[in-house]
Structure 1
Amino acid sequence: MRTLLFLTLSLFPSASIFAEQATTASDIQQMAERFLQTWADKQQQLNRRIEYQIGNVDRRLKLAPCEGEPELSFVSDPLRTPSPSILISCAGERPWRMYATASVEIYGSAIVAARPLTRGERLTSAALTTSEVQLNASRRGTLTDMQTIQGMMIRRPVKTGTVLTPDLLEAPDAIERGDHVIIVARSGSFSVSSRGKALGNASIGEQVLVENLRSARTLKATVVAPGRVEIPMQ
């Protein structure tokens, strides 16, 4: 009987072997560190400076050993938050998933106001400059390309040095009340054009009432370009 008991027990690894093979808090910490460092190296190629720190992992953590390479990914966009979570998952016979927290600061060049800007002011390069800022300090995002915001309008007054964010800008009106416009009635690839007059202000993508100068009918059209609107063909 004792021989049988010995053989049965010998089929199972001891608790100490399981402990040696387990994925520990230290392993999780190292995985997250490598993941963030690789990501930080890529950001450096974009002229961004990264400072990060992995959150504490419970030292009592014991997970099954990972048979293959674990997969790591951001749960939230680190460019939008300084506290992104990292999902670490492992497939296999005993799969597991867990989350690690991190503190991430991303520094890079962004557009800021070179002087006070007033509501409704159209942006020019003279009113703007660039400065190194923490890009993920705000969930509203930052702007980095001067060319894409030239001619945009400021929604509300801002002070010198304010980091410009997308919500501070709006597209100028492409059509103003009284403007003569081209009305395009379109159905697939076929279209017919006529002349009209705008009865309100609107930017590209917005709808506006226009008067057809030939028929005197009032139509609701979508602005597709300065001086040009479209309606679906009836």
Structure 2
Amino acid sequence: MSKLLRFIFILLSLGTSHIFASSNYSKEVEKFAETLIFDKYQATFELTDEQKLYIKANPITNRINFTECKVPLEGYIVGDKIKSKTAVKVSCKDKTPWDLYVRVKVQTLIPLIVSSRPLSKGETLDEDNIELIYKAKSQVRGSTFSELDLLNGVRLKRNVSSKRSIRFKDVCYVCKGDKVTITANQSGLKIKASGIALTDGNIGSTVRVKNTRTQREVVGTVYALKEVQVSF
């Protein structure tokens, strides 16, 4: 009985080794397909410093039987065009030739500021409640932010769910009721005064503010957090 059990154990061990080796070689084929796409992408497109490239082959199913190629693999991108889901034909030209199609996911990732938890209208943003992630460029919609520093101290105008991107329309650099600094250039002199914001605004937009000392209402342009510039 012990000999039979030992024989079964040896068979199982051999079978496991065979599967493991096959799995390892499948990974090599997947890597070959990914490298073909990477080289093509490098020759065709240019990434900016802030962008990242994501290339990942779909795992080759173990239902496909193929032997380890004894000569260098050959391959080409089907259609010679890189898409979000690109097919690569991988071929072996040795004595037992085979062809295999590998599906590869390709994405250009861009930096994106998202909420790290559910946020409420009126909350001030900082590194405790927002974070930087990378997301596929094709999935990003609207005017968003890519740097944490640009949102530090900025307030929300609406509720934001967890892990959602912070968009331009969600925030105000100057919010109604804020104490703001009013800056004006007059006869070559820079004059500063304190005021109260009467409307919401973002960088580059105009807002109405009231001079705290004179009670005069003026219209100015938001140029920084709680800072408004007026012209005379």
On whether the aligned pair clears a TM of 0.5, the verdict is no
Q: What range describes the TM-score normalised by the shorter chain of this pair?
A: 0.3 to 0.5
- TM-score (structure 2 length as normaliser): 0.45
Greater helix share, structure number:
2
